[in-house]
A and B are shown apart, each in its own frame.
With several copies, the nearest count.
Chain A
């Protein structure tokens, strides 16, 4: 006696590499304003990115992970999320964070080695700071989603992670909980083919990343992560489900990490120039730009304005960042607990003296 169980999963893309539709586009394509906003955000994210890399090269910023190749995914996420949803990012989500309202100065501070980067955030005060330990944010995300369910709120959580992160228990355990508890959460895996030097094929033997959803009984979708329409549609669908109490979704957005892993990495050690070159052909920003051009929503003059606008915005933020004095050393104990335990009073005094006396 046999019973058969079946599971399916679709890969979706709408635009070819040149930005021409392969299919009828989803309804959201009718909203030209939205498309233009998306494109502007992608360019802004890339402009900021290039600037931070330059700052790092000149010793004005710390180790930094480039967003290059992730701008489409991040922008689609940021646009689809509601203001009151919560975002649980990893470290390549600059494009989303810009849309969430994280000030650029904060991003610069964070990578510049200053804890104040994750403070403030008036427009998205409940969003999580960047999670450095890989995949750990997944558990927070399901915890936040559980809090929403406990309080009967119609909000959702979006959590992002890389392809490498899908190997870590935190992701897999969280997918399981999301299924068991029917939680309003969307897992977006930015599958950029590499985890530092480890290629996707060594990371897992599974045909797709999305199929890891099946282990928790969740639906999974695979989209071309350089296709603004495909990512946006999948995000909207998943967030509708979440907001509607229908549970969680895993989205695998397939892209390519166009830069080094971080500024501390040299990707030429482990991957070929050919592979990189061909990935640039699929760049999603160029693709959306071409589409906008063809659709009559964009032209060279606007492009020039946008570039200047983005450079200007970034320069202003960088200026504020560079002017910012470091926190006093005593700050390192001031935020550990709500109030300073008496056992730390002596240590705080020593730290406070450090600055006055000018001792290192």
Chain B
């Protein structure tokens, strides 16, 4: 168990303590916080109990909350997805971990056909207050299938919320919100930045809203829109641009679906230009929806086409070439230069 998680777990309940934590530690804090607040929260997945998860996100929870609320499951993602639905219909609030996003696909039928529809199907008689967590994205030199970023597949499914934090603070606040939300949430954790930065997080149980983008940096000349690990490169690009005298607004979409179009449109109304950055492949990515929404909703404001800086339309390469797949700071800067030139 890492030190800060341990401290968090042993803490006196009364006084909210501030921690300098990484993103993955913030996930752990939020889980522990909400399991303390709410007895109906349970956690399940492969290797999440005794081992604390392969990324250590659930470390210490079994020791603290017992094996009945922190369950290692057999190796079957479809089962995990479906068991979670069953639990949720009975008023538990299960938080299931998929070890990597690349292994969630076996659970698609349960997620699409049941988790997302139980409330609608029963006209509210039963519903699914559940969270499916998964580390996602590339760049950690992992084997095949360990670098997926297919958030677009979930974003297209009515009845699901898709949430992606990109900082320790947002991981804490958004995960609390996701667990408390009475509907199913796909909570994708950008593992490339699991430990990239530490931030002070006050473990006060305060959730963040699930229906709004976060404006990380204000600017006038162009709106940079991103989410997940790519936020890092996007912010760096904004720095770089500012040195060049270009003032970039940076928005972390964070709540990928339902999408907060207002914030995006307001920003573009101001800047007149938008560049979208995401790691997923371009064709049919969430960037397409964002671009289409802006192109439709801000048609008269746009001074240049909305440009997407994304992964290539191919399978994420094995690790020797993965950096060539991922959008780089230079790619973002180049795209901005292109739209500014127009």
A and B touching (Cβ–Cβ under 8 A):
yes
Q: Please report A residues at the B interface, Cβ cutoff 8 Å.
A: 62-63, 86, 88, 111-116, 118-121, 125-126, 128-129, 131-136, 138-150, 164-165, 167-170, 173-174, 176-177, 180, 195-198, 202-204, 264-265, 269-270, 326-327, 329, 331-333, 335-338, 341-344, 347, 351, 354, 359-360
Interface residues of B in 9-34 (CB under 8 A from A): none
The answer to whether A143 and B318 touch (CB under 8 A), given A167-B74, A174-B79, A336-B120, is no
CB distance from A216 to the nearest CB of B (A): 10
| B42:A150 contact, CB within 8 angstroms | yes
**Cβ–Cβ < 8 Å partners of A174 in chain B:** 79, 82
The answer to whether A195 and B126 touch (CB under 8 A), given A144-B89, A146-B87, is no
- Say yes or no: is B337 at the interface (Cβ < 8 Å to chain A): no
CB distance from A318 to the nearest CB of B (A): 16
The answer to whether A139 and B79 touch (CB under 8 A), given A203-B74, A343-B261, A360-B328, is yes
| A332:B315 contact, CB within 8 angstroms | yes
Count, A-B residue pairs, CB within 8 A: 249
Task: A343 to B260: give the CA distance in the assembly, Å.
Answer: 7
- Say yes or no: is B205 at the interface (Cβ < 8 Å to chain A): no
CB distance from A211 to the nearest CB of B (A): 16
CB distance from B81 to the nearest CB of A (A): 7
| A269:B86 contact, CB within 8 angstroms | no
The answer to whether A169 and B106 touch (CB under 8 A), given A129-B121, A147-B92, A177-B74, is yes
The answer to whether A146 and B123 touch (CB under 8 A), given A326-B320, A351-B324, is no
CB distance from A109 to the nearest CB of B (A): 9
**Cβ–Cβ < 8 Å partners of B181 in chain A:** 338
User: Which one of B121, B211, B312, B318 has the greatest number of beta carbons of chain A within 10 Å?
Assistant: B318
**In this complex, what residue of A is CB-closest to B92?**
A147
- Say yes or no: is B319 at the interface (Cβ < 8 Å to chain A): yes
Q: Of B73, B92, B105, B261, which contacts A177 at CB under 8 A?
A: B73
- Say yes or no: is B2 at the interface (Cβ < 8 Å to chain A): no
| A142:B83 contact, CB within 8 angstroms | yes
Q: Could you list 11 further interchain pairs (A-B, Cβ under 8 angstroms) beyond the known A140-B114, A146-B83, A332-B312?
A: A88-B86, A113-B321, A135-B75, A144-B87, A167-B74, A168-B76, A204-B74, A269-B52, A332-B321, A336-B315, A344-B314
User: Top 6 A-B pairs ranked by shortest CB distance?
Assistant: A143-B86, A139-B82, A113-B319, A197-B51, A140-B86, A119-B123
Task: A63 to B323: give the CA distance in the assembly, Å.
Answer: 17
User: Which one of B79, B86, B105, B114 has the greatest number of beta carbons of chain A within 10 Å?
Assistant: B86
**Cβ–Cβ < 8 Å partners of B262 in chain A:** 342
- Say yes or no: is B38 at the interface (Cβ < 8 Å to chain A): no
**Cβ–Cβ < 8 Å partners of B102 in chain A:** 132-133
Task: A338 to B161: give the CA distance in the assembly, Å.
Answer: 12
| A165:B75 contact, CB within 8 angstroms | yes
A and B contact pairs by CB, cutoff 8 A, 19 listed: A62-B142, A63-B141, A116-B123, A119-B123, A132-B144, A136-B109, A139-B78, A140-B114, A142-B86, A145-B86, A147-B90, A148-B90, A177-B79, A196-B54, A331-B317, A332-B314, A337-B161, A337-B183, A360-B328
- Say yes or no: is B245 at the interface (Cβ < 8 Å to chain A): no
**Cβ–Cβ < 8 Å partners of B122 in chain A:** 115, 118-119, 129
Task: A139 to B81: give the CA distance in the assembly, Å.
Answer: 8
- Say yes or no: is B119 at the interface (Cβ < 8 Å to chain A): yes
**In this complex, what residue of A is CB-closest to B69?**
A150
**Cβ–Cβ < 8 Å partners of B146 in chain A:** 132
**Cβ–Cβ < 8 Å partners of B124 in chain A:** 119, 335
Task: A354 to B330: give the CA distance in the assembly, Å.
Answer: 12
**Cβ–Cβ < 8 Å partners of B89 in chain A:** 126, 128, 140, 143-144
Task: A120 to B319: give the CA distance in the assembly, Å.
Answer: 20
**In this complex, what residue of B is CB-closest to A110?**
B318
| B125:A118 contact, CB within 8 angstroms | yes
| B330:A360 contact, CB within 8 angstroms | yes
**In this complex, what residue of A is CB-closest to B82?**
A139
User: Which one of A63, A139, A164, A351 has the greatest number of beta carbons of chain B within 10 Å?
Assistant: A139
CB distance from B125 to the nearest CB of A (A): 5
| A202:B74 contact, CB within 8 angstroms | yes
**Cβ–Cβ < 8 Å partners of A264 in chain B:** 54
- Say yes or no: is B249 at the interface (Cβ < 8 Å to chain A): no
**In this complex, what residue of A is CB-closest to B90?**
A147
| A173:B76 contact, CB within 8 angstroms | yes
The answer to whether A335 and B46 touch (CB under 8 A), given A113-B320, A119-B125, A344-B258, is no
Task: A135 to B76: give the CA distance in the assembly, Å.
Answer: 9
Task: A110 to B59: give the CA distance in the assembly, Å.
Answer: 31
- Say yes or no: is B305 at the interface (Cβ < 8 Å to chain A): no
| B76:A176 contact, CB within 8 angstroms | yes
Q: Of A118, A140, A343, which contacts B259 at CB under 8 A?
A: A343
| B74:A139 contact, CB within 8 angstroms | no
**In this complex, what residue of B is CB-closest to A205?**
B74
User: Which one of A86, A111, A173, A360 has the greatest number of beta carbons of chain B within 10 Å?
Assistant: A173
| A139:B258 contact, CB within 8 angstroms | no
**In this complex, what residue of B is CB-closest to A359?**
B330
- Say yes or no: is B194 at the interface (Cβ < 8 Å to chain A): no
**Cβ–Cβ < 8 Å partners of B330 in chain A:** 359-360
The answer to whether A170 and B90 touch (CB under 8 A), given A114-B318, A337-B119, A343-B258, is no
